[in-house]
Amino acid sequence: GDFDGTSFTSDQEEHKWIDWGTDNYAGVTYNNMPNNDRVFIGWMSNWAYAQETPTEKWRSAMTLPRKLALRSVNDSIELINYPLESFDKIRVLGIEEEISIDPKSDRSLDFNHFNSSEIIFKTTSQAFVLEFQNSLGEKLNLILDGQNQKFELDRSKSGNILFDEDFAKNVQTMPIPNLPKGEYEIRILMDWSSIEVFINEGQYVMTAQIFPNEFYKTLVVSNLGDDTLELNRFTISGVKSIW
C-alpha cells in the first residue's frame, strides 16, 4: 500500500489471518518494547466453548508473546508472528538428530512429556503427518498437504472433547498457498492443554486448545510423499514450568 506520512492506504483486496486456529482471539499489541518491536499476545480460547472447557483452577490462558513483522515471501508481503527469543531461556534440549523416512513409511519417537515441549525441524517435504499419541488411544493429528495447499489440525480424538458438541466437530484447516518450495521450518509448542504451530518462522500460524486425559508420549511421523522425508536438525526440547 501507500503511506503519505499521515494515512496508510492498503491495496490488499483479501483479508489475511494472523492465526488460523480456533483459539487465538482478541489479540493485543504493546508499544515501547525493546528495539521498537511490536509484540502480540492473544486470548487462547473461543467464546463458543470458553465457559465449558474442562479445567478446574483456571479458565483459558494467553498465547505465547509473539513478535509481529513484515517479510517478503515469493514476492508477496506476509505478516509474520513468531515467539520472542526470550522463550529459548526456558527450553531444555532433549533429542536432536537428523531424520530420514522412506516414502509411505513412518517413524515413532518417544518423549516423556510432549505436553510441555517444543518440536522444531526444517524440511522441503510438503506431504506428511505428525501424530501425537498416548496410552489411552487419544491422538492429535497435524497434516501438511502441499498438493492441496493446506495444513490441517484434527483434534477429534485428542482427549476430552465431549464438553461441547462443536469443540472438535470440524478439522481446522489453514490455507498455505505461498509456502516456499525449498526448505522451511516447522515449530510446534505444546503445553498441557494447548498447541501453537508456526510454519516457516511465523508465516502461517495455528493455535488450538486440547485436553488429553493423559500426556502424549509418542510422536509418529508419517511420510505421505513419493520421496524420502528429510527432517533436518530435528529437535525435541522440554520446557520448564513457570509455576
- Asked if pLDDT for residue 15 goes beyond 90, the answer is no
Distance separating alpha carbons of residues 8 and 10, to the nearest angstrom: 6
Rounded Cα gap, residues 12 and 78, in angstroms = 11
238, 132 contact by CB (below 8 A): no
Q: Which grid coordinates belong to 92?
A: 531444555
Distances (CA, A) of 168 to 158, 177, 192: 9, 25, 17
Distance CA 210, CA 189 (A): 12
For 75-116, write each residue's pLDDT tens digit: 888 999 999 999 999 999 899 999 999 999 999 999 999 999
Distance CA 49, CA 60 (A): 10
Tally the C-alpha atoms within 13 A of residue 54's C-alpha that lie toward its C-beta.
13
- Position 195 pLDDT exceeds 90: yes
pLDDT in tens, 36-82: 999 999 999 999 999 999 988 888 899 999 999 999 999 888 999 99
> Which residue is listed with cell 531461556?
89
Is the pLDDT score of 243 beyond 80? no
